[in-house]
Structure 1
Amino acid sequence: MLDKALAIRDKIIEIRRVIHANPELSFQEFATARLAAAFLDELGYQVREHVGKTGIVADRGAGSTVAIRADMDALPIQEENEIEHRSRVAGVMHACGHDAHVACALGAAVLLAQENLNGRIRILLQPAEETGDEDSKSGAARMIEDGAMDGVDAVLGLHVSASLPAGAIGIRPGPIMAASDSFHLKIIGHAAHGARPQDGVDAVALAAQVINAIHQIVSRRISPLAPGVITIGTIQGSSARANIISQSVDMTGTIRSFDEKLRKLLHQELRHACEMSKALGGSYELTIKQGCPVTINDPKLAELVHSTAIDLLGEDKVIIVEPDMGSEDFALLAQQAPGCYFWLGAAIKDDPRHHHSPRFDIDESALHIGAAMFAEVSKRILGWKSEAAEKGKLDDFMAFRQSRKKPE
């Protein structure tokens, strides 16, 4: 499969560059979707458009179903790279690699169209991984609502990594990406003249104490063996003048965790920390918005991805990675069927480019490996008609999938 992928590497890179030059924000991926739909239709896939608003579902074959998912949306960042295929859209850039994900998925679609598989391949091109809509629902949630995961027996996803060596595969069973929740906190005091603080309740002073309490939650209220993060990302006082004591202070932040028990504990302790404002004469309003759950790799599927990567690339190219505090709405898909999410190393040697930055870029020489991994893992799950005995290697996985199905 790797040799077949290498033969179409230039096409995969070309697709990535076209999408990179024409980035689209979440739920606005109209041109990207049209490009992908036309490409898949030409390969003989049955294409359904406008799934989850701007998503694509494309099927080939029948029977047990493996879904390959790629996200399509870009970020509101002005690109600084001086490259021929730099973004043509002011203030919008593929700064996280979703252009590469689409290219890998379409490359896999080409490879799998050449196989006589004993099952169905479903290509899921998903909008809006980076953010939600007016109801705070991401692209994965919207696609699930529109039936994109109906009948799926296993789902695969990847993310290019700007830190792993180009061509390496990063994988681990179990939790691989964190749950992500956001919060908005308003600390409320009483405004007064800056020269007479005794006449008011300084919301800035209250906020300072609350922030210290919040920053002690992870270090003092949870086990050091249980990874968690609470970050305050923004803070804004209500006063517009230096000599006015703020009536209120608004803060926003993020909460990250790897299991539901810890997730609930962090929420609870955040509320407790905010109570300090009351003890000092103020009050607060706290809203916690639950986001993506933990991304959990099915152990059997993760082992298959691991062994496939070794077979294709060699043991030295396969890395057991640590869980990442980033979050992914792939987690929602993996709640619908056994899932596996892995990293594709794409670091530019001696010139690291960070995700979500204006200079983000990748080593494109790795993209055919992502396509080959998608295709080969799918092939091994389904087996192929000319060598149906190979399917026996994964009979236990498919039986496991059946055991997870909810009763009608």
Structure 2
Amino acid sequence: MDHDAERVKELRRWLHAHPEVSGKEARTAAHLAEWLVQHAPPDRLVRGLGGEGLAAIYNEAAPAHQGVLIRAELDALPITETSHVPWSSQHAGVMHACGHDGHASCLAGLALRLHATRPQRRVTLLFQPSEETGLGAAAVVADARWAALAAPRNFAIHNYPGHPLAQVGCRPGTMACASTGLCITLRGATAHAASPESGRSPAAAVAKLMENLPRAAAIGEPLTMTTLTHVRVGEPTYGIAPGHAVLQVTCRSEQDSLLEAEVTRVRNLVAEHAAGFDNTIELVEPFAATVNDELAVQMVVNAASAASLACVNPAEPARWSEDFGVLLNDARSRYGSEACGALLLLGSGEAQPSLHDSAYNFPDSLLQPGITVFEHLCRA
């Protein structure tokens, strides 16, 4: 196992050094496919799933309706790395700041164990593209080959900075919030800065929206919030009164229905404060809530116990979003009451830089705990 552990660590560091953003994970997928074929050949390997996705199936002859699917992500983020580790990103402006290199390496390490000791169940390992944009899971489900790969039991891990190393966190109900970005564009008319009254500047409307759009989470209520992320009014000049503005916000909630209500609130505010302008609102990077099943959570608790890892029930869902909820919802629609699944958190250290921090680096010491939890879930 020591040799396998070193092999997985080397893989993780290679992935970290060669990150690719959503929709462009071709080299990442190809490297993982080659690695699997060489070190843990599956019964079947499906490439190009939902874009650049990869699926490896072990014990394919076992009944599909009793199968397990374990999912990890391929994509990185458009961030310039400042971790200064020897295996830092070799691609300018792109890095694995969310730990997907570690998640994918845990899945590869699991493949080594499934190859060495064949599972009784059919196990599908899904290396999913484009999680960061919220589009990857939906693209995988829409792929014509997905029906033959889907499983009733679905699990995924996400590392969790700020929490004790290898501490498992899992809760029934919402585990990660639903969210969507909104790009709000206001169009008026430019004018000379000496006679701004002859144009239609959106500046005053933008000021009103900046004041009223943001919404903080309220204590004691289901989490719902809106964050203003970007504002641009006109161009950076001195002689032109602006005639164009763009505001970007992110709405999030622990329930899909509450997210819809929050998006409606934003639309109504734009209609109220920007009524004199031609305005458009575009929804981008939508994520459904990731909702865990109680039975799957108990399986995670049992797996953590079998792996001798501490396990806690978080009081609140993670505020960030994960498109793993799409796979859970798809399993429920296919398998009904036989479906169960959960996203679990794995503490990556109390002093670990936060997710999407330019200094982030997935801890290698988290690889074997992640692999072991995955293995127990596959063999339960």
Shorter-chain TM-score range: 0.7 to 0.9
User: Cα distance, 1:224 vs. partner?
Assistant: 5.6
Aligned to 1:293: 288
Q: Are the aligned partners of 2:170 and 2:343 in contact in 1 as well (CA < 8 Å)?
A: yes
Aligned to 1:78: 80
Please give the residue correspondences for 1:379-398 in structure 2 after superposition, counting only pairs within 5 Å.
Answer: 379-380=379-380
Question: Are 1:236 and 2:232 counterparts?
Answer: yes
Which amino acid is the alignment partner of residue 18 of structure 1?
W
Deviations 1:231-258 (A, max 9, x none): 1211111244235332121111211112
Structure 1 pair 212–343 and aligned structure 2 pair: CA distance change class (3 A): same
User: Cα distance, 1:207 vs. partner?
Assistant: 0.9
Which amino acid is the alignment partner of residue 305 of structure 1?
V
Aligned to 1:89: 91
Which amino acid is the alignment partner of residue 300 of structure 1?
L
Deviations 1:295-317 (A, max 9, x none): 11111101110122123225xx2
Aligned to 1:369: 369
User: Cα distance, 1:327 vs. partner?
Assistant: 0.8
Q: Are the aligned partners of 1:275 and 1:283 in contact in 2 as well (CA < 8 Å)?
A: no
What CA distance in whole angstroms lies between the structure 2 residues aligned with 1:126 and 1:300?
A: 24
In structure 1, the gaps of 5 or more residues are 133-137, 381-408
Which amino acid is the alignment partner of residue 58 of structure 2?
R
Which amino acid is the alignment partner of residue 243 of structure 2?
Q
User: Cα distance, 1:30 vs. partner?
Assistant: 2.2
Please give the residue correspondences for 1:232-381 in structure 2 after superposition, counting only pairs within 5 Å.
Answer: 232-278=228-274, 281-282=276-277, 284-289=279-284, 291-314=286-309, 317-321=310-314, 322-337=316-331, 338-347=340-349, 350=351, 352-380=352-380
Deviations 1:248-286 (A, max 9, x none): 21111211112232122112111221123256x545332
What CA distance in whole angstroms lies between the structure 2 residues aligned with 1:85 and 1:189?
A: 49
Structure 1 pair 278–346 and aligned structure 2 pair: CA distance change class (3 A): closer
Shifted more, 296-305 versus 160-169: the winner is 160-169
2:245 is paired with a residue whose SS is strand
Structure 1 pair 52–290 and aligned structure 2 pair: CA distance change class (3 A): closer
Q: Are the aligned partners of 1:149 and 1:333 in contact in 2 as well (CA < 8 Å)?
A: no
Question: Are 1:20 and 2:16 counterparts?
Answer: yes
The alignment yields a C-alpha RMSD, in angstroms, of 2.3
1:96 is paired with a residue whose SS is coil
Please give the residue correspondences for 1:24-63 in structure 2 after superposition, counting only pairs within 5 Å.
Answer: 24-42=20-38, 43-45=40-42, 46-61=44-59, 62-63=62-63
What CA distance in whole angstroms lies between the structure 2 residues aligned with 1:191 and 1:50?
A: 47
After TM superposition, the score normalised by the length of structure 1 is 0.82
After TM superposition, the score normalised by the length of structure 2 is 0.88
The one of 136, 149, 156 aligned to 1:139: 136
1:369 is paired with a residue whose SS is helix
1:175 is paired with a residue whose SS is strand
Bigger-Rg structure (1/2): 1
Q: Are the aligned partners of 1:8 and 1:368 in contact in 2 as well (CA < 8 Å)?
A: no
What CA distance in whole angstroms lies between the structure 2 residues aligned with 1:278 and 1:12?
A: 54
What CA distance in whole angstroms lies between the structure 2 residues aligned with 1:214 and 1:223?
A: 19
Which amino acid is the alignment partner of residue 41 of structure 2?
G
User: Cα distance, 1:172 vs. partner?
Assistant: 1.0
Please give the residue correspondences for 1:130-279 in structure 2 after superposition, counting only pairs within 5 Å.
Answer: 130-131=132-133, 138-146=135-143, 147-148=145-146, 150=148, 151-215=150-214, 225-278=221-274
Shifted more, 195-204 versus 157-166: the winner is 195-204
1:309 is paired with a residue whose SS is helix
Structure 1 pair 366–276 and aligned structure 2 pair: CA distance change class (3 A): same
Which amino acid is the alignment partner of residue 234 of structure 2?
S
Aligned identity (percent) is 28
Aligned to 2:335: none
What CA distance in whole angstroms lies between the structure 2 residues aligned with 1:35 and 1:201?
A: 54
What CA distance in whole angstroms lies between the structure 2 residues aligned with 1:260 and 1:96?
A: 24
Aligned to 2:334: none
1:85 is paired with a residue whose SS is coil
Deviations 1:337-384 (A, max 9, x none): 23211111122x64x31221221113211210000001101100xxxx
Deviations 1:80-116 (A, max 9, x none): 2222211222222111111101110011111222334
Shifted more, 296-305 versus 189-198: the winner is 189-198
Which amino acid is the alignment partner of residue 250 of structure 1?
V
Structure 1 pair 166–290 and aligned structure 2 pair: CA distance change class (3 A): closer
Aligned to 1:406: none
Structure 1 pair 288–91 and aligned structure 2 pair: CA distance change class (3 A): closer
